Amino acid sequence: MSWLILALSGVLEAVWATAMGKSDGFSKLAPSVVFLVAIVASMVGLAVAMRELPVGTAYAVWVGIGAVLTVGYAMATGEEAASVFKVGCALVIVAGVAGLKLAH
pLDDT in tens, 21-69: 999 999 999 999 999 999 999 999 999 999 999 999 999 999 999 999 9
Q: What is residue 100's predicted lDDT score, i.e. its pLDDT?
A: 87
pLDDT(70) > 80: yes
pLDDT(15) > 90: yes
Domain count for the chain = 1
- b vs e for 44-79, b when ≥16 Cβ sit within 10 Å of the residue's Cβ? ebbebbbeebeeebbebbbebbbbbbbbbebbeeee
* Boundaries of domain holding 58: 2-103
pLDDT(104) > 80: no
What mean pLDDT, rounded, does the chain reach? 96
